Amino acid sequence: MTRHDQYNENVAGRANVEDTPELLAYYDDLKKKGAAALWTVANKIEPWEPRSQSVPMIWRYKDLREDVLRSVDLVTPEKAGRRVIYLDNPGRSDVAAAVGWIYAGLQVMHPGERASAHRHSASAIRFIMEGTGAYTVVDGHKMTLGANDFVLTPNGTWHEHAVASDGSPCIWQDGLDIPLVNALEANFYEVHPDLAQAVTHPVDDMTRTWGNAGLRPGTGAWSKGYSPMFKYEWAPTYEALSGLAETDGSPYDGILMHYMNPVTSGHVMGTLGASMQMLRPGERTRAHRHTGSFLYQVCKGSGHSVINGRRFDWTERDIFCVPSWAWHEHANASATEDACLFCLNDLPVMEKLGLYREEAFGDNGGHQPVHKP
């Protein structure tokens, strides 16, 4: 029982009705008619504050990588559709989410392999973890991808993934809003009639057109609800963060930059946002919490995060989640090297619906007491 639940027992306006035989019979009668008494569920469906069902957790790459590679010998991309090992949060298994309403998986592809083109109502990002030669085609635009680059496949866009025959085996993280779109009962899926798309534009044209600091193209309007940039590269991202290393940054996040739709300055897609943050050598942030679901991937360095009082040590390529309203703080383990965390989140949804809320951890100099495991 939380402090709030105990308090709840004696608070006017909160449900506090004891079962009697008469009431139980009444509830049975209502159930038969497809109805129920609000006071039997009110405290559950209207908690004092968000109660995430997602479990804070870490997926360590050293534990999962071999299993991901093994899938290559077990199934073909043709048969599996997509050869992916997904991250199954024990609190969210029923909706196949890694955290909140966000799905994530690790996909592996060998040189010369290709997944057939399809489109769906769910939006996706694909973040490259290792390997060379990966590319994605989105609505006829081909994007080449290296480690720590990511590509958008926004809802409704035709997309297919492949690895060039002169590349090396690639593993990437898929992140999609599948659980959210399913919760909204709005998910459609279609296979491309030709199974493969024609590339109808110069390679990497969308990033070359829209990815120039301080410049926008003189021709061509863009009014879709997602970024035209499609691919975001690691090198300029890291350069931008490094250029800010001398500034104060955020006490909760170090140097954090959101990837943006260059047309609106808003999030990259309507339902999924992404950011990259740098923890400078020796940096330890203060704890805070906010609504929204957050899935981090360690791109560089090592350190730890404390999430709801539990310490999670991480190193490159590990993935960990911060559920909605969970206290969290991060620390870089190195006194000489920076650490970088990529983060996929549902901030665009929280912000658009007016549900974003944030709170600082006040006690103990802004740091959570850490529970012993």
Kindly list the residues in this chain that would bind ligand GTQ in the complex (CB under 6 A).
82, 84, 105, 107, 120, 124, 153, 174, 176
Determine the Cα–Cα distance for residues 261 and 246; give it in Å rounded to an integer: 26
Write out the two tokens for 141: 């635009």
Residue pair 78/55 in contact (Cβ under 8 Å)? The answer is no
Q: Which is nearer to ligand GTQ, 176 or 299 (CB)?
A: 176
Residue 266 beta carbon to ligand GTQ: minimum distance, rounded to whole angstroms: 23
Q: Which is nearer to ligand GTQ, 103 or 325 (CB)?
A: 103
CA atoms within 13 A on the CB side of 89: 28
Q: Which is nearer to ligand GTQ, 230 or 252 (CB)?
A: 230
- Kind and range of the H or E run holding 306: strand 303-307
DSSP structure string for 47-61: -SS----SPP-EE-H
Residue 120 beta carbon to ligand GTQ: minimum distance, rounded to whole angstroms: 6
Residue 279 beta carbon to ligand GTQ: minimum distance, rounded to whole angstroms: 28
Residue 119 beta carbon to ligand GTQ: minimum distance, rounded to whole angstroms: 8
Least Cα distance to 107 among 160, 37, 53 occurs for 160
Q: Which residue is nearest to ligand GTQ (CB)?
A: 174
Residue pair 286/366 in contact (Cβ under 8 Å)? The answer is yes
Burial profile 53-78: b = 16 or more Cβ within 10 angstroms, e = fewer: ebebbbbbbeebbeebeebeeeeebe
* β-strands 170-176, 124-130 pairing: antiparallel
Q: Which is nearer to ligand GTQ, 119 or 328 (CB)?
A: 119
Q: Which is nearer to ligand GTQ, 70 or 352 (CB)?
A: 70
Q: Which is nearer to ligand GTQ, 124 or 347 (CB)?
A: 124
DSSP-derived 3-state class of residue 239: helix
Residue 135 beta carbon to ligand GTQ: minimum distance, rounded to whole angstroms: 13
Q: Which is nearer to ligand GTQ, 127 or 252 (CB)?
A: 127
Cβ neighbors of 22 (< 8 A, separation 6 or more) are none
Residue 112 beta carbon to ligand GTQ: minimum distance, rounded to whole angstroms: 18
Residue 163 beta carbon to ligand GTQ: minimum distance, rounded to whole angstroms: 14
Determine the Cα–Cα distance for residues 118 and 193; give it in Å rounded to an integer: 9
Residue pair 161/188 in contact (Cβ under 8 Å)? The answer is no
